[in-house]
Every structure is written in C-alpha cells, then in structure tokens.
Amino acid sequence: MPSFDDSEVVLVDENDRQVGVAGKLAAHQNGARLHRAFSVCLFNSKGEMLLQQRTMTKYHSKGKWSNTCCSHPTPSESIIEASHRRLREELGIDVPKLEDIFSFIYRVDVGDGLTEHEYDHVVFGRFDGLPKPNPEEVMDYKWMKSEDLRDDIKAHPDRYTGWLRIAIDRIIAEQRKSHY
C-alpha cells in the first residue's frame, strides 16, 4: 500500500472561499471535491525550473515528473507558509521569498479511483543551490528550461503530472512577465 497522509485539506468554492474541510483521501475520491492546493515552481538564475520525479510510494501520479513541489495547505496555513513547509519536507530547501503568481481550477483523473479537483495557487521562487531530496517524497530531480519542458510534455505527456501538463503554458507566460 502506498504511503498516505490523510491530513485535512481546505474545501473551497470557485472563488477560493473556504466552505469546509475534509480528509485528503475523501477529497480525492468519488469524483473529488474542490479543494485548495499549491504548486511551487523554483527557477535558477539561468531561468531553468527545478523539477522533481515523484516516488513510486505516492498515492497518485507515481513516478511522474512534476514542478518543484506541490501539496495542500492545512486549514491553519497560508499558501506561502505551506509552500515553505513542503519545500523543506520534500527537497530539504527553503528560499527567502516565494510569490503567489496565479491560480487556476482543474480536474484530472489520477488513477486508482482518485481525482484531483483543485483550486491551485502557482507559487514562484528563485533557487540556485542543490536540493537534498527526501527519498520518501522525491525519486529524482533535474533542472530544465521551461520551453524545453513544454516540448517534452507535448512529446511525452504520460511522463508528467496532469496539473503540470495543464499549467505549463501559463507558467511560461508568467515566467516571461516576471523576474524569474
């Protein structure tokens, strides 16, 4: 059985207003309930994004490549606080400044009867160091130019998480507009 933390997630409406809480597993079952999430994208000074390959013990999207890290804030955390926490837990790193750049709602079947239905905040930051991946969370990592990533996603979509496939064009557009 894959490892699974059934902590509470924040249920939201289409305007990201909290409407309740649910266990993480329950929020992903039976077609899923819309809940708050975040996806961190860290860029180095060359403009490359840090990607992680999810471990085979994740409860969904096992072995797929994704953005730097992603998760759900607890009911008592802000998006930025949760982003810092998960960067430390998954990759052994933190950055001084993270910015909530844009949000989008998506729904993706992630297999095993689970669905991601998330109000996803995409958070950007800068990082030029070496991650120290937690082997229970991250199987591998690499740096990649966003345009090369988009091309590889188009050529090999099954290698990547559903949310990254959906968000990559907007990530590139926002990266171009910002200082990342």
Q: Using the 8-state DSSP alphabet, how is residue 55 labeled? A: P
Q: Catalytic residue, from 41, 69, 90, 118: name it.
A: 118
Rounded CA separation 118/28 (Å): 10
**136 tagged catalytic:** no
Q: For residue 140, what is the enclosing H or E element?
A: strand 138-145
Q: Using the 8-state DSSP alphabet, how is residue 157 labeled? A: G
Q: CB of 149 within 8 A of CB of 49?
A: yes
Rounded CA separation 68/70 (Å): 7
3-state secondary structure 96-128: CCEEEEEEEEEEEEEECCEEEEEEEEEEEEECC
Q: Catalytic residue, from 41, 69, 70, 90: name it.
A: 70
**69 tagged catalytic:** no
Q: Alpha carbon of 8 to those of 5, 64, 131, 151: distances in Å? A: 9, 24, 27, 36
| Phi and psi, residue 127, nearest 5° | -155, 125
The residues annotated with a catalytic role in the active site are 70, 118
